[in-house]
Amino acid sequence: MSLCSKSSYDLVIVGAGMVGASLACILDRMPLARPLSILLVESAPIDLDAPPAQPSFDARSTVLSYGTVSYLRELDMWDGLAVSAEPITHIHVSDQGRLGSVLMSSREQGVDALGHVIENRLLGSVFNRALAAAKHLETRSGVLVTGITPQQAGMQVTLGKGDASQVVDASLVVLAEGGRSGLCEKLGIHRVEQPYDQEAIIANVAFSVPHKNVAYERFTVNGPLALLPLPDMDGQHRAALVWTRKGGDAQALIALPENEFLDALQKEFGNRLGMFTRVGQRHSYPLKLVTAEEQVRPGLVLLGNVAHSLHPVAGQGFNLAFRDTMRLAAILAVAHDRGESPGAIDNLQLYLQQTITDQDRTAAFSDYMTQLFSTNHLAAVWLRKFGLFSIDLVMPLRRAFAKRAMGLGEPRVKLDTSTY
């Protein structure tokens, strides 16, 4: 049985999660003189008539920053997503039991929304449909990449499905497999892990008062808690909860009966959304900061969670990966139009050079927020108080904070590569 149609591709993308699927869709939409031949391999089955099965598109919700949404608009992918996405017009940041708080608004920033919240399974459905409709892309789902071997030029990729296997050549392998399949380790690439000793509880919750498109970020003695506005459903006001707790606490909360869980949440969050009335299925994610020690090699690039996995407190992980993806796509498009191999190390190093500052700044922003707001050490409490007050009072600081949250900290990537 043949697992794909050709024996050689310009690009093999491993993983059709949020990041691999994004790269495939972006490249398919880029105005190239001649198309790249791309194979996208996903181990989970993709069935357009069923909810997405890739782990990226599970019960979570994602904040798409203003920057990501504006790229999706330009790529003509936003209309399909907009119907299911809820705009964030205000971000309210507060510290439990203390006076300091920040309210940022889209009006102050001169935009229609600071970002949008979308449920991952809906995001996945739109991405999977876009993959199915892509003109220059071959997608193989339910197929596992079991090996990647460097060649004189490019890589040899081994695919497997049940008893069948097949080997294909690729000028460039984009590893977007999330970091759990062991391929990185097989290639001898070390990923540095810094556990936070925290887990994120995620669930959809309903409450009695409309959220008015406010995203709440509340820092409590037990860890940060975010409530992200979702579209109303069946007359119920809803938000996506991301509640960070110490590992043991998270499991205990998940095991509570619904009414006790809602009481605990009410106590922690307060009454800004009235009374919590329901909670959907609860899931937990262990949290760690992970960074790969190498992101590019000849014929290889790491993208998304496998390259860097951040704490979700600031909602930056996918947004950062999306900007990485845009930069990589633009560089590959230019290289291809010049007749250069997509896997040429000079271009991959150029990509890394263009993206590393954004990665470092975004990881530092997320890590700083996590460390600062996860401790009750007196110095941190004062810094928080001072920090939130000063951000609230000093306009340039508010702008800087909002700019990073909106994903606008770095120069914009141009999609029309003929202008490069």
Cβ closest to ligand FAD, residue 176 vs residue 388:
176
Which of 11, 39, 62, 269 is the binder for ligand FAD (CB under 6 A)? 62
Q: Looking only at Cα atoms, what is the longest distance across the chain? A: 65
Please state, in angstroms and rounded to a whole number, the distance separating the CA atoms of residues 254 and 265.
Answer: 11
Q: How far is the CB of 185 from ligand FAD (least distance, A)?
A: 12
200 token code pair: 């994120």
| φ/ψ of residue 204, rounded to 5 | -90, 140
Q: How far is the CB of 18 from ligand FAD (least distance, A)?
A: 4
Which of 200, 279, 330, 406 is the binder for ligand FAD (CB under 6 A)? 200
Q: What string marks each residue from 147 to 186 as x (binds ligand FAD by CB under 6 A) or -?
A: -----------------------------xxx--x-x---
Q: What string marks each residue from 242 to 261 as x (binds ligand FAD by CB under 6 A) or -?
A: x-------------------
Residue 205 in the binding site for ligand FAD (CB under 6 A): no
Question: Which runs of E-coded beta strand occur in 152-294?
Answer: 155-161, 164-175, 191-207, 214-220, 223-233, 236-246, 276-279, 283-292
156 token code pair: 């040899």
58 token code pair: 């599970």
Residue 199 in the binding site for ligand FAD (CB under 6 A): no
Q: How far is the CB of 242 from ligand FAD (least distance, A)?
A: 5
Q: What string marks each residue from 271 to 310 as x (binds ligand FAD by CB under 6 A) or -?
A: --------------x------------------xx-----
Cβ closest to ligand FAD, residue 100 vs residue 154:
154
Which of 12, 30, 203, 321 is the binder for ligand FAD (CB under 6 A)? 321
Cβ closest to ligand FAD, residue 327 vs residue 417:
327
Stretch that binds ligand FAD, among 11-19, 94-102, 266-274, 339-347 (CB under 6 A): 11-19
Residue 387 in the binding site for ligand FAD (CB under 6 A): no
47 token code pair: 């069935």
Stretch that binds ligand FAD, among 9-17, 71-79, 270-278, 350-358 (CB under 6 A): 9-17
Residue 202 in the binding site for ligand FAD (CB under 6 A): yes
Hey, how many other C-beta atoms are within 10 angstroms of the C-beta on 208? Answer: 12
Sign of the C-alpha dihedral, residues 405, 406, 407, 412? negative
Q: Look at residues 255, 265, 249 and name the one whose alpha carbon lies nearest to residue 204.
A: 265
Residue 312 in the binding site for ligand FAD (CB under 6 A): yes
Residue 145 in the binding site for ligand FAD (CB under 6 A): yes
Say if residue 135 is exposed, middle or buried (CB neighbours under 10 Å; 0-12, 13-18, 19+).
exposed
Q: What stretches of 48-182 show up as alpha helix (H) in DSSP?
A: 66-74, 78-82, 106-109, 120-133
Cβ closest to ligand FAD, residue 292 vs residue 344:
292
Cα 251 to chain centroid, rounded: 24
Q: Look at residues 47, 32, 39 and name the one whose alpha carbon lies nearest to residue 10.
A: 39
Please state, in angstroms and rounded to a whole number, the distance separating the CA atoms of residues 143 and 132.
Answer: 16
| φ/ψ of residue 125, rounded to 5 | -60, -45
Q: How far is the CB of 201 from ligand FAD (least distance, A)?
A: 9
By residue count, the chain amounts to 420
Please state, in angstroms and rounded to a whole number, the distance separating the CA atoms of residues 389 and 218.
Answer: 15
Q: How far is the CB of 111 from ligand FAD (least distance, A)?
A: 18
Which of 12, 15, 139, 333 is the binder for ligand FAD (CB under 6 A)? 15
Residues 63-82 that bind ligand FAD (CB under 6 A): 63
Which of 37, 43, 94, 125 is the binder for ligand FAD (CB under 6 A)? 43
Contacts of 375 (CB under 8 A, 6+ apart): none
Q: How far is the CB of 63 from ligand FAD (least distance, A)?
A: 4
Positions in the binding site for ligand FAD (CB under 6 A): 14-20, 41-44, 54-56, 60, 62-63, 144-145, 176-178, 181, 183, 200, 202, 242, 285, 304-305, 312, 315-319, 321
